[in-house]
Amino acid sequence: MAQDLRSFLKQIEKSCPTQLLRVQEPVDPLFEATALVLEAEKLASCPAVLFEQVQGSDFPVISNLLAHRPRLALALGVSQERLIEEFRLRLKSSIPPVIRGDAPFQDNIFLGDQVDLGRLPMLVHFEQDGGPYLTAALVVARDPHSGIRTVGYHRMQLKGPRKMGISLHSRRRMYEYFRRAEEQNRPLEVAICLGVHPILSLGALSLPPADVDKFDLVGSVLGEPVELAPCQTVALEAPRWSEIVIEGRILNGVREKEGPFSEFTGYASERSTENVFEATALLYRNEALFQDINSGNSMEHCRCLSLPREVEFTNVLSKSIPNLKAVHVPVRSGIGSFHCYVSLRKTAEGQAKQAIFSVLGADHYVKLVVAVDEDVDVFDEEQVLWAIATRMQANRDVFIMGECMGTLLDPSASDDAVTAKMGIDATKPLGRFPTTLTVNQKAVERARELLNSRAELVKT
């Protein structure tokens, strides 16, 4: 299949044109692009937005690409209802990448002092931001011990023609790879990729075991080997169809203030690992597209956090919960990270509590897990709240654990990211419990028929 972003944009325009909004008028990179995307995400189609003219740069900007579940399902070639299950299935195999000798991103090459990152249309998203940011930076690196590759998103603040701040606050692979490099008294070489097919983003957002090469998983999600090409100045390979590649290194022994940055929490975050990146090369395709992920608690930013967690929690729960129905990490109220709702058909007391602690133990970002019965739609928060209101007793069904590992980006956590976690068992006790009200299905269908006929009369 095509592995480039441009092919996917053509696919959108052909199959669902309302999901791509082209903005031909010039826009200011200072706040205007962000404001437009925030308004566009309220539309039913939640379109990707292509800014054809960004003031001060020759590069067009694509944003909001990853915000919409139907669009991600389109990338995988499945229905929206099959998105999580298909993603899970594809992550169960492993397809190593292939290395090609050349790449389209080598059309334009700037090395050393020729590099000027200020040419890129980095946006200032919110009034509280410390400056322009790369928000769709897919960072590639190798484990200094094993050579296993990782690729993942990290925020990067522009500080000079060749200098950016970077935060490794997720405390996952990249944080550990840098720690190991610094122990060896050397920088961590990285390649930053901008403008990739959504499937590469999905693969990069996955949460595999530490001994799995991320590009093997990207290939699995693609259904074929991901094509890589050698970098010019670092001992790495980058996705061959990237629009833009920035090569360089995260400096050992150097820390410098980075931020504030508009994080997914909806707050300006000044918490950062304060690492510093130095660019050694800038490469890009002819007529390259610059990709941006709208920051803050935007739909796109939080969707990137929610989707891989739904997959990971489904994997974890499937091993111990025999009648798991669905898992949902809400994008808005739970900002794609902090809340999780689980529905199951309970066959033994204690299963709901087991599900709660399994999720809390699977990811240090999660602060609240609610378990409900299978008749509750976890994608409808009103139903989840109804279950809490009618099936939960606080002294019996609420579990609170203090002094847990959290994330630095949680403004309510301590300075060293220690937090509290809560579980709510909103399932009915087995045995006698009032019967939930239902309406005869034939009557429902007849009612819809009558209402639809009247709607047609109103239209005419």
Q: Average pLDDT, whole number, for the chain?
A: 93
Laid out side by side, the sheet with 61-63 consists of: 20-23, 48-51, 61-63, 290-292
Residue 308 lies in a domain: no
62 with 183, same domain: the answer is yes
- For residue 216, the domain's CATH number is 2.30.110.10
Q: Please give the average per-residue pLDDT across 366-384, as a whole number.
A: 96
Determine the Cα–Cα distance for residues 63 and 299; give it in Å rounded to an integer.
11
Q: Confidence class of residue 11 from pLDDT cuts 50, 70 and 90?
A: very high
Given a cut of 80, whether residue 339 has pLDDT beyond it is yes
Q: Are residues 197 and 233 in the same domain?
A: yes
Instruction: Name the pLDDT band for 171 (thresholds 50, 70, 90).
Output: confident
Please state whether 268 falls in left (phi above 0), alpha (psi between -120 and 50) or beta. Answer: beta
Question: For 186-211, what is the mean pLDDT?
Answer: 92
Residues 147 and 290 in one domain: yes
Number of helices and strands in the chain (H, E): 12, 23
Neighbours of 405 (CB within 10 A): 13
> Which SS3 state, helix, strand or coil, does residue 52 take?
coil
Let me know if residue 52 belongs to a domain: yes
Same domain flag for 285 and 363: no
Q: What is the pLDDT of residue 112?
A: 95
pLDDT greater at residue 198 or residue 170: 198
- Is residue 309 a part of any domain in this protein? no
Rounded mean pLDDT, 340-364: 95
Crossing angle between the packed helical segments 83-90 and 69-76, to the nearest 10 degrees: 40
Neighbours of 92 (CB within 10 A): 9
- The per-residue pLDDT for range 54-78, each reduced to its tens digit, is 999 999 999 999 999 899 999 998 9
Report pLDDT digits (tens) over 178-193. Answer: 999 999 999 999 999 9
Q: Which of 233-242, 349-358, 407-416, 424-433 has the lowest mean pLDDT?
A: 407-416
Please write the tens of the pLDDT for every residue from 409-419.
Answer: 888 999 888 99
Task: Give the mean pLDDT of 233-238.
Answer: 97
In the chain, pLDDT over 70 holds for what percent of residues? 99
455 found inside a domain: no
CATH of the domain at 379: 3.40.1670.10
Q: Quick one: pLDDT at residue 280? A: 98
- pLDDT grade for 460, boundaries at 50, 70 and 90: very low
Q: Are residues 208 and 160 in the same domain?
A: yes
Range of the structural domain that residue 169 is part of:
5-299
Separation between Cα atoms, residue 382 and residue 392, nearest integer Å: 15
Same domain, 270 and 325: no
Q: Which helix (H) or strand (E) holds 396?
A: helix 394-397
For residue 210, the model assigns a pLDDT of 84
Per the domain annotation, does 441 fall within a domain?
no
74-85 exposure pattern, b = at least 16 Cβ within 10 A, e = fewer: bbbebeeeebbe
Residues 6+ apart with CB under 8 A from 132: 29, 122, 123, 124, 157, 158
What's the confidence (pLDDT) of residue 345?
A: 96
- 405 lies in the same domain as 281: no
Q: Are residues 96 and 146 in the same domain?
A: yes
| Count of domains observed in the chain | 2
* Model confidence at 7: pLDDT above 80: yes
264 shares its domain with 411: no
pLDDT for residue 457: 53
